A and B are shown apart, each in its own frame.
Chain A
Amino acid sequence: MKYDGKFGKYGGIFVPELLIPAIEELEEAFYKFKDNKEFVEELNFYLKEFAGRPTGLYYAENLSKELGCRIYLKREDMLHTGAHKINNAIGQGLLAKYMGKTQLIAETGAGQHGIATAVIGAKLGLDVKVFMGSTDVERQKLNVFRMELSGAEVIPVDMGSKTLKDSINEAFRYWISNLDTTHYLIGTTMGPHPYPSMVKYFQSVIGKEAREQILELEGKLPDTVIACVGGGSNAMGIFSGFVDDETVNLIGVEAGGEGTDTLDHGATITKGTEGILHGSLSIILQSEEGQISETSSVSAGLDYPGVGPEHAYLHSINRAQYVPINNDEALDALKILCETEGIIPALESSHAIAYAVKYAKKEENKGKTIIVNLSGRGDKDMFTVAKELGVEI
């Protein structure tokens, strides 16, 4: 391997020996093609013409007035397929094509990464298999249908908690058996090296754009950047644009579920301890004996007991703060954004909105400039939201 994939002590390559050659091949290809002129041109073409970049940095005027802050929304919700996941799917999909692979596999929780992988597979002529916990298949039916329409095969996973964690286990198992033909398109900044660095690289377009945009709109850097964190790819994408600007506060918002004093949450950094899951050393939710915990959140995309190793690192050096938002607060925030701005955020992104509202209400934060990464749109969540609000549709 070229690099050890460590962020401080976090990260690394904790995978079965059988995967090592594939990891080596992937690392070599990523560092080779990311600076290859043809690859870069093709990547930029797809980001612009297929996904719809750049996305706007939208001044949420009504919400800002109500809260006494200047709140900007980075509109990843406007992208093709409805979330930031497409940035990474295009990048890795193209990489797979350059590597000569014929099949993409992916895990998905909310279905956003699954649909992003499905469409780029369709576009590039690659077969796609998406592993999805059967609980998530049920609560994200609409996205399952969209994936299938795009020609992907959705494989329900019935083991364990039947959510994101279990779909990742199954994707790794499939990959081990099909290394020659298959690229595992991991959707977030977790997994063994080079995934955390590679996914961050493909998502860093969010932070790069946001930084340029805020400087143009405000003439200065923001005070605070807020993003939701499951595995942490949208957060790492936007944080990467500001991490070197020491004056900018970075805040990651985790799934507080039914409350972090219960067992039903996915607030990994808030409540977790160091451990190894899915290929890297990071912070995870686990038992005293090291068994991985089952998590819970109203948003399938944050329902995961791990977090990307670079987030664990940013937390350890106190460069970013991580806070929980519970289900009810996220649902309230979703309604607030619908009513004040006419924007329906994904339940995942609603966690970031909820914390932004909480943060803006604090006396010491009056007048601050805040960027919230609106990582996805809420269309996929309408059945869940209606159910939570007691409405039949």
Chain B
Amino acid sequence: MNKLSYSEIFEKSKNNDDGIFIPFIVAGDPDYKTSLEIAKTLVDNGADALEIGFPFSDPVADGPSVQNADIRAFDGGMTIAKCFEFLKELREYTDKPFGLLLYYNLVYKHGIDEFYKKLSEVGVNAVLIADLPPEEADDAIKAANNHDLEQIFIVSQATSNERLKDITKIVGGFIYIASVMGTTGARGEVEHNTTELIKRIRSHTDIPLCVGFGISKPEHVKEVLDAGADGAIVGSALINIIADNLENEDVMFAEIADYITLMKDATKE
């Protein structure tokens, strides 16, 4: 299937006067088949794009929800080779953009350019590498350019304006704003200075901004969009629904569908 670009979906959302909603799952959690069905459920219920993680043995930037998702994926027989198949199969189902979130060793071991080439072939749009700051990213950016992929980078409250300026020069797709100083994970409230952070970044760039880390409720989505962000990313809260319903898949899919609908609706308010 053809794929939409990030700029196309951001453009469309501007016209619709809503925000972009991006759920995150780990490919293969809890197993290949179920995970693929989950991804389709996300697409069918209003996800504008998908953020997909490749399971890694040592995910230092992730909290317990994603760590356990990685472990379930491994236990379910997931491999990196199967992750490529997963993306290929999912691309046949939807034209929505796919962004990957993964750790650099998986890319490096494979051969950086070769890895990006394969990602491009299976219809991926963008790549965010959790442990690859701009200082070390030259090879990855080159590979992304070679294969028509966008390289996404994270910024946080601790990112200085000077550094932010450098990041806006190299980032593709959108800027991923980490709303909390911490690992990934669902939290009760959006950190109070997130609004200021979004405004600060917005004052430096017109690149679309998506906020992740700690977003779990409709009011969080509304809050970050009101502050000027273009989209919201939700990972752990969704992954917790998977973890809590491993014994009853019907309930799992129903709850995921409800949750995604609710979160997408929040982008329209």
Task: Mark interface residues in B54-80 (1 if CB within 8 Å of A CB, else 0).
Answer: 001111111100010001000000011
- Residues in chain B near residue A163, CB distance under 8 A: none
- Residues in chain A near residue B183, CB distance under 8 A: 173, 176-177
- Residues in chain B near residue A179, CB distance under 8 A: 158, 181
Of residues 96 through 134 on chain B, the ones whose CB sits less than 8 Å from some CB of chain A are: 103-110, 130-133
- Interchain CA distance A14-B80 in the complex, whole Å: 21
Knowing A179-B158, A290-B106, A291-B56 are in contact, say whether A16-B130 is a contact too (CB < 8 A).
yes
Q: Is the CB of A159 within 8 A of B67?
A: yes
User: In this assembly, does B163 line the interface, its C-beta being within 8 Å of a C-beta of chain A?
Assistant: yes
Q: Is the CB of B58 within 8 A of A276?
A: no
User: In this assembly, does B160 line the interface, its C-beta being within 8 Å of a C-beta of chain A?
Assistant: yes
Q: Is the CB of A290 within 8 A of B110?
A: yes
- Residues in chain B near residue A278, CB distance under 8 A: 58, 60
- Interchain CA distance A358-B56 in the complex, whole Å: 39
- Interchain CA distance A277-B105 in the complex, whole Å: 7
- Interchain CA distance A110-B103 in the complex, whole Å: 28
Of residues 234 through 251 on chain A, the ones whose CB sits less than 8 Å from some CB of chain B are: none
Q: Is the CB of B108 within 8 A of A274?
A: yes
- Residues in chain B near residue A337, CB distance under 8 A: none
Of residues 165 through 180 on chain A, the ones whose CB sits less than 8 Å from some CB of chain B are: 165-166, 169, 172-173, 176-177, 179
Knowing A169-B58, A177-B181, A290-B106 are in contact, say whether A17-B154 is a contact too (CB < 8 A).
yes
Of residues 269 through 295 on chain A, the ones whose CB sits less than 8 Å from some CB of chain B are: 273-279, 281, 284, 286, 288-292
Q: Is the CB of A18 within 8 A of B81?
A: no
User: In this assembly, does B21 line the interface, its C-beta being within 8 Å of a C-beta of chain A?
Assistant: no
User: In this assembly, does A63 line the interface, its C-beta being within 8 Å of a C-beta of chain B?
Assistant: no
- Interchain CA distance A277-B109 in the complex, whole Å: 12
Q: Is the CB of A13 within 8 A of B135?
A: yes
- Residues in chain A near residue B62, CB distance under 8 A: 173
Q: Is the CB of B154 within 8 A of A290?
A: no
| Cβ of B163 to closest chain A Cβ, rounded Å | 7
User: In this assembly, does A66 line the interface, its C-beta being within 8 Å of a C-beta of chain B?
Assistant: no
Q: Which of B67, B105, B136 contacts A275 (CB 8 A)?
A: B105
Q: Is the CB of B61 within 8 A of A176?
A: yes
User: In this assembly, does A122 line the interface, its C-beta being within 8 Å of a C-beta of chain B?
Assistant: no
- Residues in chain B near residue A100, CB distance under 8 A: none
Of residues 75 through 89 on chain B, the ones whose CB sits less than 8 Å from some CB of chain A are: 79-81
- Residues in chain B near residue A138, CB distance under 8 A: none
Task: Mark interface residues in A151-166 (1 if CB within 8 Å of B CB, else 0).
Answer: 0000000011000011
Most buried by B among A18, A160, A177, A273: A18
Kindly state the interface size class of chain B when it binds its partner: 35 or more
User: In this assembly, does A4 line the interface, its C-beta being within 8 Å of a C-beta of chain B?
Assistant: yes
- Residues in chain B near residue A159, CB distance under 8 A: 67, 71
User: In this assembly, does A29 line the interface, its C-beta being within 8 Å of a C-beta of chain B?
Assistant: no
- Interchain CA distance A57-B59 in the complex, whole Å: 43
- Interchain CA distance A192-B52 in the complex, whole Å: 26
Knowing A17-B159, A165-B58 are in contact, say whether A173-B105 is a contact too (CB < 8 A).
no
Of residues 203 through 233 on chain B, the ones whose CB sits less than 8 Å from some CB of chain A are: none
User: In this assembly, does B155 line the interface, its C-beta being within 8 Å of a C-beta of chain A?
Assistant: yes
| Cβ of A296 to closest chain B Cβ, rounded Å | 16
- Residues in chain B near residue A165, CB distance under 8 A: 58
- Interchain CA distance A13-B57 in the complex, whole Å: 19
- Interchain CA distance A177-B109 in the complex, whole Å: 29
- Residues in chain B near residue A357, CB distance under 8 A: none
User: In this assembly, does A21 line the interface, its C-beta being within 8 Å of a C-beta of chain B?
Assistant: yes
Q: Is the CB of A15 within 8 A of B105?
A: no
Q: Is the CB of B131 within 8 A of A20?
A: no
Knowing A4-B135, A160-B57 are in contact, say whether A289-B182 is a contact too (CB < 8 A).
no
- Interchain CA distance A292-B163 in the complex, whole Å: 31
Of chain A, the residue at the smallest CB distance from B213 is: A18
| Cβ of B260 to closest chain A Cβ, rounded Å | 27
User: In this assembly, does B153 line the interface, its C-beta being within 8 Å of a C-beta of chain A?
Assistant: yes
User: In this assembly, does A12 line the interface, its C-beta being within 8 Å of a C-beta of chain B?
Assistant: yes
User: In this assembly, does B45 line the interface, its C-beta being within 8 Å of a C-beta of chain A?
Assistant: no
User: In this assembly, does A217 line the interface, its C-beta being within 8 Å of a C-beta of chain B?
Assistant: no
User: In this assembly, does B143 line the interface, its C-beta being within 8 Å of a C-beta of chain A?
Assistant: no
- Residues in chain A near residue B178, CB distance under 8 A: 17-18
Q: Is the CB of A16 within 8 A of B109?
A: no
Q: Is the CB of A17 within 8 A of B105?
A: no
- Residues in chain A near residue B131, CB distance under 8 A: 14-16, 276, 279
- Interchain CA distance A173-B182 in the complex, whole Å: 7
Q: Is the CB of A286 within 8 A of B105?
A: yes
- Interchain CA distance A5-B71 in the complex, whole Å: 32
| Cβ of A217 to closest chain B Cβ, rounded Å | 45
| Cβ of B165 to closest chain A Cβ, rounded Å | 14
- Interchain CA distance A165-B130 in the complex, whole Å: 18
Given A289-B80, A292-B105, 10 other A-B residues pairs in contact with their CB atoms under 8 A: A17-B153, A17-B178, A20-B163, A22-B158, A177-B181, A275-B105, A275-B109, A279-B131, A290-B106, A292-B58
Q: What are 14 A-B pairs at a CB distance below 8 A?
A: A13-B133, A13-B135, A13-B136, A15-B133, A16-B130, A18-B158, A18-B178, A20-B163, A21-B160, A169-B58, A177-B182, A276-B104, A277-B105, A291-B57
The residues of A with any CB-CB pair to B shorter than 8 Å are 1, 4, 12-18, 20-22, 159-160, 165-166, 169, 172-173, 176-177, 179, 273-279, 281, 284, 286, 288-292
Nearest 7 pairs between A and B by C-beta? A290-B109, A177-B182, A21-B158, A289-B80, A291-B57, A17-B154, A16-B61
